[in-house]
């Protein structure tokens, strides 16, 4: 694996490769786990060159403490990426990505910016878009790989790519959430949880699964508001300190309060805090899953 901390050297390397080859790109903030590695592996299958980036983007943290506490495990990350044969790793400093006078933009993301994660983490999605736009401008990949655990982030980045015209030459792939053997979604934040909290954290996916099966068992009669309240109560009773949301959205990412025949998919999303660590997860119901 070749490591780059300079844009010019990375671009020179990619330019040589660019003719007739495809470049897959996996942006990360490090503290890599099997979820990230699955994205890199998918990229390696579908492209001649795979670039992974590790950059803990200060602009997307709305709390300074969360930024300082974010796990940084660069040596381990490099070993993991080398083991699976990733071709290039881009590890820029803050001033490389955002030099002084870098023209930060305001992206017109619409309502999706302000709801759920956007509501609880003001400015988060603008920060995500700033860095992803910058990284796409630098890497100019053929394919971009994102994990669906951050479902709302996938939608926001897709929107930014349309606004900026990236979608004309970059294909974005939303990849399935990778889970541990019990079902807990892998997250760099899990590293901050005690073993007891790790097992209690399973309540998140278990409640999502339960909500999904409750809907599928009786779509016409299910009361989503009661299901929401019961799921929140269950999370609190099973060790979560607080629940920011447990909510049902349609394919346009609008909240729904009842099930109609006309939807293509329903996404149930949840965010809850345990041992001071905020976790998110989601589950999808496709229309063909209804009997």
Distance CA 4, CA 57 (A): 17
φ, ψ of residue 266 to 5 degrees: the values are: -115, 135
Cβ atoms of 2 and 87 closer than 8 Å? yes
Q: How far is the CB of 220 from ligand PAF (least distance, A)?
A: 37
φ, ψ of residue 94 to 5 degrees: the values are: -60, -45
Q: Mark whether 13 is an active-site residue.
A: no
Tell me which stretch binds ligand PAF (CB under 6 A): 127-135, 162-170, 217-225, 281-289: 127-135
**How many alpha carbons fall within 13 Å on the CB side of residue 251?**
9
Tell me whether residue 54 or residue 270 sits nearer to ligand PAF (CB atom): 54
Verify binding: residue 224, ligand PAF, rule CB under 6 A. Answer: no
**How many alpha carbons fall within 13 Å on the CB side of residue 213?**
5
Q: Which residue in the set 77, 113, 117, 150 belongs to the binding site for ligand PAF (CB under 6 A)?
A: 150
Residues in 14-53 that interact with ligand PAF by CB under 6 A: 27-29
Cβ atoms of 268 and 255 closer than 8 Å? no
Structure tokens at 77: 């990350």
Tell me whether residue 204 or residue 215 sits nearer to ligand PAF (CB atom): 204
Q: How far is the CB of 290 from ligand PAF (least distance, A)?
A: 31
Residues in 48-107 that interact with ligand PAF by CB under 6 A: 57, 60
Give ∠ CA 82-85-90 in degrees, rounded to 5. 65
Tell me whether residue 5 or residue 254 sits nearer to ligand PAF (CB atom): 5
Residues lying near ligand PAF in the complex (CB under 6 A) are found at 27-29, 57, 60, 128, 131-132, 150, 153
The residues carrying an active-site annotation are 36
């Amino acid at each position: 694996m070749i490591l780059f901390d300079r844009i010019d050297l990375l671009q020179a390397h990619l330019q040589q490769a660019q003719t007739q080859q495809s470049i897959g790109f996996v942006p990360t903030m490090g503290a890599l786990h099997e979820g990230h590695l699955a994205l890199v592996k998918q990229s390696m299958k579908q492209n001649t060159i795979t670039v992974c980036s590790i950059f803990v983007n200060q602009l997307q943290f709305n709390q300074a403490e969360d930024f300082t506490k974010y796990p940084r495990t660069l040596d381990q990350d490099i070993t993991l990426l080398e083991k699976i044969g990733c071709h290039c790793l881009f590890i820029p400093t803050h001033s490389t990505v955002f030099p002084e006078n870098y023209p930060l933009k305001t992206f017109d993301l619409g309502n999706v910016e302000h709801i759920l994660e956007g509501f609880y983490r003001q400015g988060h999605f603008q920060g995500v878009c700033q860095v992803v736009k910058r990284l796409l401008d630098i890497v100019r990949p053929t394919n971009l790989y994102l994990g669906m655990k951050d479902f709302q982030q996938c939608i926001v980045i897709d929107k930014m790519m349309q606004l900026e015209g990236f979608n004309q030459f970059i294909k974005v792939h939303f990849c399935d959430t990778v889970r541990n053997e019990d079902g807990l979604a892998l997250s760099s934040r899990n590293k901050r949880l005690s073993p007891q909290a790790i097992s209690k954290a399973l309540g998140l996916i278990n409640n999502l699964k339960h909500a999904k099966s409750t809907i599928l068992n009786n779509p016409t009669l299910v009361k989503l508001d009661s299901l929401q309240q019961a799921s929140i109560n269950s999370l609190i009773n099973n060790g979560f300190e607080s629940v920011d949301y447990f909510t049902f959205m349609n394919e346009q990412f609008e909240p729904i309060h009842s099930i109609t025949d006309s939807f293509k998919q329903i996404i149930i999303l949840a965010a809850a805090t345990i041992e001071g660590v905020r976790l998110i997860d989601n589950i999808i119901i496709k229309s063909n899953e209804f009997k």
